[in-house]
Structure 1
Amino acid sequence: MTLPPRPNFPNHPGQPPYPGAVPPMYGAPLPPLPPPKSNAGLIIGIIAGVLVLVAGVCVAGVLAFGAYRHDRAASYAEDQGPLSAATRDDTYAAPTTKAAPTTPAAPPPAPARVGDCIVVDEAGAYLGPGNCNGTQGTYKVLSVDYSRDTCADSQSPYLTESGYRLCLELYLVRTFCYKFPSGPGWVVAASACKAKGTVHVIDIVPGAANGNNCTRDLKWNRWYQFTHPTVVYCVMQY
């Protein structure tokens, strides 16, 4: 015989009655229900096991991924060869453009060469190249210096032209006529020989101090000494 299910009833501690509950059909009271067993330990153990399992899976995944990256890096290094410093991002520097070296400007052409005779006016202004045969040109060029330093003979005449210093010496020719300055100045060719104030060169005595060594074979009436270089011109003055 199957007994009906035990109903809840008001006098049973800890069990609130449900609607329609009635006292038991049999007179013997039912023994009290045993206290419910706690499942907390089981639940905690299950959770701990799950966490251990998850942690193990994560660690295995990290290790596997690291091994995968290592294998990929090794494979790439084998395919590409060793990286040079020039291709590494941490050593890359933007290329810089170097300024082209500045080339000094070439000096202009020199107005005359060493050994040339030049034409000047009475103030010493450069008038252009001449010649050394007496027809034009009264000074010979000793040096041409673009840096315009001093002449080898610091007392020699010089002029500056086109950025050059031309160091000079007086250069006159026998039988030609010139005009000497009455004071400081420059010797120039005479516009007309035997014109008043001109001289006709009769003799030239290099290194002389006076006219004692001037020629006795030709007529002259005056001598002039110039220095740097030292020379005496024996002349006929008009």
Structure 2
Amino acid sequence: MRVGLFIPCYVDAVFPKVGDACFRLLRHLGVDVTYPKGQTCCGQPMANAGFAKDSALLAKRYDDMFKGFDYVVAPSVSCTAFIRLQYPHIMKESGHECHIARKTMDMVEFLHDVLKVDRTLGRFPHKVSLHNSCHGARELNLSAPSEKMEPRFNKIKDLLALVSDIEVVEPERYDECCGFGGMFSIEELAVSKQMGERKLARHAATGAKFITGADCSCLMHMAGINAKEGKFPEIEFRHVIEILAEGL
């Protein structure tokens, strides 16, 4: 298969090591992966702000750039969910056919559902608290949302089980929102901050040294609060792909 790697703009600007880890891990697993140059924002921020029509040009650019690939993978569940679920509507309204949205996957679901990785990966001898983001649990089916009262599963946890010497734990209210929510954190700053503080405290209560998840935006939100308030200086943040690629 031919796989295109999409690195969302905020990951490129703030978490470039995550993009590097994605590329290294995919190559390690024998995937023919390409990173097309000239990538831009997927358009999610403007669409969330009520300007969906203005994101149509970015959607078409993305579709044209990745049209020839069998899959497109990205280390961001929120961007992936936006592309897969919203691009078909946005592009249809602007008179364009959408080809690649249904082939766009988060890195976790691609590794878990398509590659079905089952071999030992790296080594990470630390206690890690797992963050289940809202888009991942409720739109991309990475884990079972608690409100549905269904049997629990977690694709992130399944992949972390392939890492040697790691201890994975989950906080109380394991899939409660961290409060980021993109535009929500700007328009409802006080509420977003309190939600983030509570979520961070629950992660810290597990005694984990690291907090991990599949969405850099959630990790960025909690890391920003922690850096500003300094309540848990011992805690570090790692995207799950960084942990999976550790030592490769």
> Normalized against structure 2, the TM-score is what?
0.21
Computing the radius of gyration from Cα coordinates, the structure with the larger value is 1
> Normalized against structure 1, the TM-score is what?
0.21
> Normalized per residue, which structure has more strand?
1
Q: Which has the higher contact order (CA 8 A, sep 6+)?
A: 2
